[in-house]
Structure 1
Amino acid sequence: MKFYEIHDPYYALIKAKDEADAERFYNEYISDTDDYENFQDEEINEVSRDYALSEYKRVMKKYGETDHHLIMETFNVPAGEMLLWDGSLT
């Protein structure tokens, strides 16, 4: 799996098999319009696994999840998914 980060219009950290899959996740779960079907190169960035894990752990701990085993187990699920998203969307 690869990891992708989008900052605008809403933040998302996505685990996906490729950039097209990440865009599909974003459009399905985050965007409420079809305006983001053709991301520009600067709008979606592939990030390293270490960076994605660091961000995921930071946010999970911020919201009270401190069980390292559970965090790793969830992060390492071998399927594409939304890992983090903009808090204003909840």
Structure 2
Amino acid sequence: MEEKLMKFFEVNEPYSALIKARTKEKAMEIYTDTVADDDGNLSNEITEVTDLYSAVFHSRTVDHNGKQLSANEVFEQLTNDEEMLLSMDQSLL
């Protein structure tokens, strides 16, 4: 059975986030588990974005210590098979 390819999703409201998931539903689950509750508008606020957009966006991510991720960290996180939150609104850290 062929595994579904990862997609990238962006949320801007109520808090920004970049999520890697196989489906929009899974991306919404990751968002509500790690960023914020769904206020009823999450389905409208979450949009699929391109791989290139995600790479540029994620390359600007900083870790909990304010240090920018290395190119190797960005590449590994974008290409591994794990569904995950890639970045989120810095005000939540």
Q: TM-score, normalised by structure 2?
A: 0.79
Shift in CA distance, 86/66, structure 1 to aligned 2, threshold 3 Å: closer
Match of 2:58 among 56, 77, 83: 56
> Does 1 or 2 have the higher relative contact order (CA < 8 Å, sep 6+)?
1
Matched residue of 1:84: which SS?
Answer: strand
Match of 1:19 among 16, 24, 27: 24
Q: TM-score, normalised by structure 1?
A: 0.81
Q: Structure 1: where are the runs of 5+ without partners?
A: none
Q: Structure 2: where are the runs of 5+ without partners?
A: 1-5
Task: Letter of the 1:39 partner, please give it.
Answer: S
Contact 1:27 1:36 survives alignment (8 Å):
no
Match of 1:86 among 83, 86, 89: 89
1:71, distance to aligned residue in structure 2 (A): 2.4
Partner of 1:69: 72
Deviations 1:45-71 (A, max 9, x none): 1000110011111224xx434642232
Deviating above 2 A after TM superposition, structure 1's stretches of 4 or more consecutive aligned residues are: 33-38, 63-71
Count of residues in Structure 1 that have an aligned counterpart in Structure 2: 86
Contact 2:11 2:46 survives alignment (8 Å):
yes
Task: Letter of the 2:49 partner, please give it.
Answer: V
Matched residue of 2:13: which SS?
Answer: coil
What RMSD in Å do the two structures reach over aligned CA positions? 2.1
Identity %: 31
